Structure 1
Amino acid sequence: MRIRVFHETNYTYEHPARNLIQVLRLRPRDHDGQYVRRWRIEPSIDGRISEREDGFGNVVHWFTADEPAESLTIRVTGEVDTNEMHGVVRGTVERLPDEFYLRDSDLALASEPIQAFARAVREAGDASPLPCLHRLLAAVHEKVVFEPGPTSASTTAAQSFEQAKGVCQDLTHIFIAAARHLEIPTRYVSGYFHRDDGMVDQEAGHSWVESLVPNLGWVGFDPAHGIATTEAHIRVAVGLDYLGAAPIRGSRMGGGTETLDVKLRVEQSQATVQS
């Protein structure tokens, strides 16, 4: 599948904001089943942009504005070729030991209710990692209703689990917390998802998880949709939770109230992908 992405993040400030710095994790990397044909990141104002790699192996761009600004737009355009890997993730850049992804993280801590939920999933059948993860995928998808709006970027897994509703980020954090409680290394993934229902205009990017399965490697699970990852997923960045893989995080001085608007279009290109 060839997927075309147009992603525009618009910030408007009440007063000119000074010392604007934006940390961007917006560029996907090549790996088995994913090839980046073209990708461009364009800030709307003058400044300096540098590329580096973070500790997770993500491509990170640092943008520093030259002058105070009343608004800033970060525009991303690109095309990616994907192949069906049935959830198995291979050929990725790995900078950390697998056991690192057993660490607790602020947004994905397993509260006592999540721990009990995870144990019940494990005890419901074959306790080996792969079948257990598939049951966990189904259980999270059934337990937590996808509902845009009730949570924020700082909402924890425990809070989302208690409310039993949230967005893809929230379901992802609950899955991570439960899987780590079961001693399965699991990480947060941010990226894009091409919907098959004809809805190409979306409100935000997507998130899912990757869990480590012995003798198979990293496997992607999308609890928001209740499926293993497919060729419709574009993998961009990973982290222990959202904070390590957030598409854009930044800082500024002054500026007053900030208004954020996101435009995202993810569609299948009509061009033929050569096998």
Structure 2
Amino acid sequence: MRLTVRHTTTYRYAPPRRAVVQSHRLTPSVFEGQQTIWWNISVPGAWTGATFRDGAGDRIETVSMLGPVEEVLVEVTGEVETQDLAGVLRGHRETVPPTAYLRTTRATHPDTGLRELSADALAGADGDPLDRAHRLSRAVAEAIAYVPGETHAHTSAAEALSLGKGVCQDHAHALIGAAIAADMPARYVTGYLFVGDEPMGEASHAWAEIHVPELGWVGFDPANRCCPDARYIRLGSGHDAQLAAPIRGLAQGVGEERLDVSVDVAEAAQSQQQ
């Protein structure tokens, strides 16, 4: 599948900030499941600093703007060809060992509820680690209904599970917590999803990866009850949503900050006909 992306993020500051520095994880991952045809990241008025690939294999770019800064516009456009690898992250190069992802954060820490969910999901399971991962993903999907607007950016996995409602971020955090409770390394993944005409879909998306011996990292998307396929574009990963965020930054100064985000993912053939 060939997909086009247009992702615009606008920050507005009142009063203007003295300076803004951002770290971008906005470039598609390099692995066998996707090939970047072309990709462009534009930040008018900013200058680019360090650019590198981190230990998790993600491309990181830093940008800076000197004030007074009233607005920062980050525009991402590109085209990616994808294929369905049943969620397996085949051919992805990284140096961080899987065991590093047995560490939890506030967002993914498994409380009693998450530990019970994990144990119940794996009760009666054999030793097949892939089957265990699928069981955990199904359990999270059944325990947390997809309901937008009920949680927020700082809702933890434990809180979302207690509420029984959430969005893709909550599903990913809960699956990470449940997997780590079962001593299975897991991490948060950000990217894009081609949703077509689905009314409940999110073009800017998140899911989790669980490390499965002999297969490596395998993606699981409890929000859609599937493994990532050709509809998904992978950007990067981290221990949770904050650490894997496509854009992280610091604005020098105090005042109001407004954020507007627009994401559109389409099939390339369709976009060319419009």
Name the TM-score, length of structure 1 as normaliser. 0.92
Secondary structure, counterpart of 2:269 in structure 1 = coil
Compared CA separation, residues 133 and 203, structure 1 to 2 (3 A): closer
Compared CA separation, residues 106 and 73, structure 1 to 2 (3 A): same
Counterpart-to-counterpart distance in 2, 1:166 and 1:202? 13
Residue 127 of structure 1: how far off its partner (Å): 4.6
Secondary structure, counterpart of 1:139 in structure 2 = helix
Retained in 2: the 8 A contact 1:5–1:266?
A: yes
Question: Could you list the per-position Cα deviations for residues 228-272 of structure 1 after superposition, in whole angstroms to 9, with x for gaps in the alignment?
Answer: 11011111101111122101111112251111111110011118x
Question: Could you list the per-position Cα deviations for residues 152-182 of structure 1 after superposition, in whole angstroms to 9, with x for gaps in the alignment?
Answer: 2222111111111111111100000000111
Counterpart-to-counterpart distance in 1, 2:11 and 2:201? 18
Secondary structure, counterpart of 2:154 in structure 1 = coil
Residue 203 of structure 1: how far off its partner (Å): 6.0
Counterparts of 1:70-149 in structure 2, within 5 Å, are 70-149=70-149
Secondary structure, counterpart of 1:89 in structure 2 = coil
Task: Identify the residue that residue 152 of structure 1 maps to in structure 2.
Answer: 152
Task: Identify the residue that residue 268 of structure 1 maps to in structure 2.
Answer: 267
Letter in 2 for 1:3: L
Secondary structure, counterpart of 1:244 in structure 2 = coil
Compared CA separation, residues 208 and 238, structure 1 to 2 (3 A): same
Secondary structure, counterpart of 2:242 in structure 1 = helix
Retained in 2: the 8 A contact 1:203–1:263?
A: no
Residue 198 of structure 1: how far off its partner (Å): 5.7
Residue 20 of structure 1: how far off its partner (Å): 0.5
Retained in 2: the 8 A contact 1:17–1:253?
A: yes
Letter in 2 for 1:269: A
Aligned-residue CA RMSD in angstroms? 1.8
Q: Unaligned stretches of 5+ in structure 2?
A: none
Residue 187 of structure 1: how far off its partner (Å): 1.1
Counterparts of 1:1-275 in structure 2, within 5 Å, are 1-197=1-197, 205-270=204-269
| Equivalent residues, number | 270
Compared CA separation, residues 267 and 103, structure 1 to 2 (3 A): same
Secondary structure, counterpart of 2:3 in structure 1 = strand
Counterpart-to-counterpart distance in 2, 1:171 and 1:7? 23
Retained in 2: the 8 A contact 1:204–1:263?
A: no
Residue 130 of structure 1: how far off its partner (Å): 1.2
Mean CA deviation greater in 54-63 or 202-211? 202-211
Counterpart-to-counterpart distance in 1, 2:169 and 2:33? 24
Residue 204 of structure 1: how far off its partner (Å): 5.9
Letter in 2 for 1:188: Y
Secondary structure, counterpart of 2:219 in structure 1 = strand
Secondary structure, counterpart of 1:140 in structure 2 = helix
Residue 202 of structure 1: how far off its partner (Å): 6.9
Q: In percent, how many aligned pairs have the same letter?
A: 38
Residue 56 of structure 1: how far off its partner (Å): 2.1
Mean CA deviation greater in 171-180 or 158-167? 158-167
Mean CA deviation greater in 34-43 or 130-139? 130-139
Counterpart-to-counterpart distance in 1, 2:262 and 2:8? 5
